[in-house]
């Protein structure tokens, strides 16, 4: 008989095991969801400090107002109120390079540019290279928080308090210090990018960093739907477009 080994969830007639523990006796009511999510991804139980920092990342990414992901979730629910899963999925599918995806983009970018030597010199070389190539540095700048993203200093403070400032956060901070020399202007380190640096320093799989952003945003989208039930705005958003369309002649490519 073929066997499929797993250290995750497994069930028998009498019990359910998860990560080598008894789900009912050892996990439920004992392990918080953030701690469990970290544990599931790494198959090692995080320290209290790691849990605190990881959950701070989840809180930072949970909701950021009427972003495209929130709007599409509300509009999908308006169109198909019988499909909560469809509404949530619609919002999550919008997690890409402009919203949410920067968490993974920044974590990967920092990891690829870690090196030996003074960190500010490495950061300066990185920013110069990206500018010369006509590329943006992931995590640098924000369309709203132009004078500083309030999530960023808080994440750095928690990481410092827990002794978890690692090479990714150090490089990102250095980019924040040196980039005005190259770009001629000062841009904030955005919270989503800082989250990517944190997750990379925590040793979470780089390939899954966007997944943690989506995990956090799922909670936010449930909140958006809950608020839509109490105070609906989706129909007004829909009508504001539908009733204000402007017919124009065809414009062939």
- Report how far residue 27's alpha carbon sits from residue 33's, in angstroms, rounded to the nearest whole number: 10
| Pair of tokens at residue 251 | 């414009």
Question: What's the confidence (pLDDT) of residue 179?
Answer: 95
Taken as a whole, the chain contains a residue count of 253
Walk along the chain (253 residues) and give the pLDDT tens digit of each residue.
898 888 898 888 889 999 999 999 999 999 999 999 999 999 999 999 999 999 999 999 999 889 999 999 999 999 999 999 999 999 999 887 777 778 999 999 999 999 999 999 999 999 999 999 999 999 998 877 778 889 999 999 999 999 999 999 999 999 999 999 999 999 999 999 999 999 999 999 999 999 999 999 999 999 999 999 999 999 999 999 989 988 999 989 8
The Cα 70–Cα 64 span in angstroms is 9
Walk me through the domains of the chain, giving residue ranges and CATH numbers.
102-206 (1.10.230.10)
Looking at residue 95, its pLDDT comes to: 83
**What pLDDT was estimated at residue 193?**
95
What secondary structure does DSSP assign to 148-198, as a single string? --THHHHHHHHHHHTT---HHHHHHHHHHHHHHHHHSS---B-HHHHHHHH
Distance CA 150, CA 142 (A): 11
pLDDT reported for residue 130: 93
């Amino acid at each position: 008989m073929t066997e499929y080994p797993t250290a995750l969830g497994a069930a028998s007639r009498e019990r359910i095991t998860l990560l080598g523990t008894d789900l009912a006796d050892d996990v439920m009511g004992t392990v918080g969801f953030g701690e469990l999510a970290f544990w599931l991804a790494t198959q090692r139980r995080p320290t209290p400090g790691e849990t605190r920092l990881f959950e701070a990342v989840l809180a930072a990414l949970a909701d950021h107002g009427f972003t495209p992901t929130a709007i599409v979730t509300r509009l999908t629910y308006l169109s198909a109120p019988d499909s909560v899963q469809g509404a949530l999925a619609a919002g999550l599918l919008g997690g890409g390079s402009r919203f949410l995806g920067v968490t993974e983009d920044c974590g990967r970018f920092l990891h690829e540019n870690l090196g030996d030597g003074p960190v500010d010199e490495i950061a300066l070389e990185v920013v110069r290279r990206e500018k010369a190539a006509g590329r943006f540095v992931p995590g640098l700048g924000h369309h709203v928080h132009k004078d500083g993203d309030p999530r960023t200093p808080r994440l750095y403070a928690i990481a410092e308090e827990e002794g978890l400032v690692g090479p990714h956060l150090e490089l990102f901070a250095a980019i924040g210090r040196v980039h005005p020399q190259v770009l001629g202007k000062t841009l904030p380190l955005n919270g989503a990018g800082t989250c990517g640096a944190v997750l990379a320093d925590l040793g979470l799989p780089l390939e899954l960093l966007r997944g943690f952003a989506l995990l956090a945003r799922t909670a936010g989208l449930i909140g958006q739907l809950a608020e839509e039930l109490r105070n609906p705005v989706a129909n007004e958003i829909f009508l504001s477009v539908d009733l204000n369309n402007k017919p124009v002649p065809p414009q062939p490519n």
